[in-house]
Amino acid sequence: MKAVRFHEVGGPEVLRTEDVERPEPGAGEVRVRVAASAYNAADGGMRGGFLPIPVVLPHVPGYDVSGTVDAVGEGVADLAVGDPVVGFLPMEHDGGAAEYVVAPSGALVAAPTSIPLVDAAALPSVALTAWQALVDDGHLTAGQRLLVVGAGGVVGKYAVQLAKRLGVHVVATASPRSAEAVQAAGADQVVDHTTTDLHDAVDERVDVLLNLAPIDPEAFRALVSLVRDGGAVVSTTAFMATPGDEDRAVRAATVFVRPDRERLTELVSLVDSGALRVEVTRRITLDELPALHAEAEAGRIAGKVVVTV
């Protein structure tokens, strides 16, 4: 089968398109004929050796995947050959930038039926990140107020949609380029961070501050004053500490996405009910994946890119 792999960590040039043996599922595993995988920044971090995730080389990137079950290992009762599935694969194992991938059955759920199977690969890890940041770590509940810093990215728009579904008032920062999309996601107030100071724009303290942007640490610490006593600051920027305020019982939590089959099943249901929109801004082929990594190395990738097979 065809797969993109790297045999050593390094720049995008270490990625190679190769012919490799098709994997066989073991006990508790299934083999998926891949429709698509999705590019995430962490793929570049693992390829470059920046993330402390113990991958075995050579490694196939692409831990978000969609496709069709092709073979079933011993002991798998809840999936069958022919089932369309989507999943967040264990990041230390081979991913979906290949024609086939073997995955634990527990990492996969039934794919959405309302969108193309290829596009479903764009859902798992980013939507799970938003849910876990808001609910599991932020403890956000109906009637509260949320400030999302960096809402123009993919996780940010999922966070806005999910927060509005929870019955939360959402203040979100965005650039002029993404302000319309953030408003369409449901934000009650969109602040142009390129022209407006948040301390002037936020007139009432929030219960949860969710940071998704690589902002200056000192500026991040200053934003904690916008959180009410007993509130929470949640961040996905794992490369810097998340600030809190012990004197005011403001909690600090840093999110690194976790597998959660039950939550992913709920997210799929929200997609099929029309309550959650899946963003796909570009579709590329396997052969174009090294060039995408090079593009990401040169600057931030806008939107969500899926890699079709």
Q: With beta carbons less than 8 A apart as the criterion, state whether 161 and 104 touch.
A: no
- pTM here? 0.95
Yes or no: say if 225 and 209 are a contact pair by the CB < 8 Å rule: no
Contact 212, 148 (CB under 8 A): yes
Q: What is the pLDDT of residue 123?
A: 98
Q: How far apart are CA 166 and CA 156, in angstroms?
A: 15
* pLDDT of 301: 86
Q: Which alpha helices (H) appear in the chain, and where do they start and end?
A: 41-48, 117-120, 124-131, 154-166, 179-185, 198-201, 217-223, 261-273, 289-298
Tokens of 58: 């050579």
CA torsion 96-99-101-105 (nearest 10°) is: 90
**Structural domains in the chain plus CATH codes:** 2-123+278-308 (3.90.180.10), 125-254 (3.40.50.720)
Distance, in Å, from the CA atom of 95 to the CA atom of 110, rounded to the nearest integer, reads: 18
pLDDT along the chain (309 residues), means of 10: 97 97 97 98 94 92 98 97 98 97 98 98 98 97 98 96 98 94 97 91 96 93 98 92 96 95 98 97 97 92 94
- Per-residue pLDDT at 206: 98
Nearest Cα residue to 188 out of 202, 199, 200? 202
Residues written for the chain: 309
Tokens representing residue 171 in the block: 């203040």
Nearest residue to 108 (alpha-carbon basis) of 70, 72, 77, 65: 65
Up-side HSE of residue 31: CA atoms within 13 Å toward CB? 16
Distance of CA 224 to the CA centre of its chain: 24
Q: Which amino acid is at 302?
A: A
